[in-house]
């Protein structure tokens, strides 16, 4: 047993912020596990490297992506889908680390969704300048399941819209260790990420890593 000045202090639990019914921000919920989560991401990307997918319209996405779990989200000229096979390797996606599964289960539970059992984890990597334009997540089989997102590394401004693309958006800062759970009436909201400003983080250098856990199958 040792106490080091350089260890993270225990984090006081912060009350969940309700963005709207079904959408809750759990500030710092993943802070304690952040270094272990990032080590697991490195393990995943050694098997399934980050890549820039192409949209059905032929545009290269500025976000670099990979997946772990039984299913992975992919996009190409033929459309968007969940696929058990990584098209770049022809192999199954890396397994979802137990730490990921447990964190997603615990966060969903804290937001009022019990028994969340994700079968897909999309791993997004942002650099300064990377953005994600306004979209809905509608490639999953059953919208009754929530989506859990975990932000790591440099901060981002998340755009939170409405049921229609043209609806007014709010900006929400997502910082290292923040977890957001989106379910119920919030599940099909339009959302996106503004271009990231230049920044550095001690654990990720100039990147932001976002994990989104889904029940896709
Ligand atoms: C609200 N990722 O991977 S996380 C995505 O920061 C995605 O990488 C963003 O949008 C990111 O699809 C945002 C927050 C998020 C994720 C999924 C949602 C919010 C959501 C699904 C439905 C509603
Ligand atoms: Fe999304």
The domain of 123 spans 16-214
Mean pLDDT calculated for residue range 144-167: 97
* CA-160 nearest atom, ligand 1: 1
- Whether 3 is covered by a domain: the verdict is no
* CATH code assigned at 101: 2.60.120.590
Q: How far apart are CA 102 and CA 171, in angstroms?
A: 28
Identify which ligand lies nearest to the alpha carbon of 192.
Answer: 1
Q: b or e along 71-93 (b: 16 or more beta carbons within 10 Å of the residue's beta carbon)?
A: bbbbbeeeeeebbeebeeeeebb
Average pLDDT, the chain: 94
- Find the 13 Cα to ligand 1 centroid distance in Å: 23
Give how many domains the chain has, as a whole number.
1
Ligand 2 ion: nearby residues, β-carbon < 5 Å: 137
148 within ligand 1 shell (Cβ under 6 A) = no
147 within ligand 1 shell (Cβ under 6 A) = yes
pLDDT per residue as tens digits for the range 11-34: 557 788 899 999 999 999 999 999
What is the reported pLDDT for 5? 56
Mean pLDDT calculated for residue range 187-201: 97
pLDDT per residue as tens digits for the range 29-87: 999 999 999 999 999 999 999 999 999 999 999 999 999 999 999 999 999 999 999 99
Lateral strand order in the sheet of 191-193: 132-135, 191-193, 156-160, 170-174
pLDDT per residue as tens digits for the range 128-140: 999 999 999 999 9
What is the model's pTM? Answer: 0.94
């Amino acid at each position: 047993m040792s106490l080091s000045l350089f260890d993270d202090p225990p984090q006081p639990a912060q009350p969940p912020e309700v963005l709207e019914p079904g959408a809750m921000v759990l500030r710092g919920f993943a802070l304690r596990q952040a270094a272990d989560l990032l080590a697991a991401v490195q393990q995943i990307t050694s098997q399934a490297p980050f890549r820039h997918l192409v949209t059905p319209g032929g545009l290269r996405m500025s976000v670099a992506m990979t997946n772990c779990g039984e299913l992975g989200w992919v996009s190409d000229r033929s459309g968007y889908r969940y696929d058990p096979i990584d098209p770049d390797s022809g192999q199954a996606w890396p397994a979802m680390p137990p730490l990921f599964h447990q964190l997603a289960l615990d966060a969903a539970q804290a937001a009022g969704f019990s028994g969340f059992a994700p079968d897909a984890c999309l791993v997004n990597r942002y650099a300064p300048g990377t953005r994600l334009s306004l979209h809905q997540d509608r490639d999953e089989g059953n919208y009754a399941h929530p989506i859990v997102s975990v932000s790591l590394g440099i901060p981002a401004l998340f755009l939170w819209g409405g049921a229609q693309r043209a609806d007014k958006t709010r900006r929400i800062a997502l910082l290292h260790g923040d977890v957001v759970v989106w379910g119920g009436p919030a599940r099909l909201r339009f959302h996106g990420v503004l271009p990231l400003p230049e920044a550095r983080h001690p654990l990720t250098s100039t990147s932001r890593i976002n994990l989104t856990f889904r029940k896709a199958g």
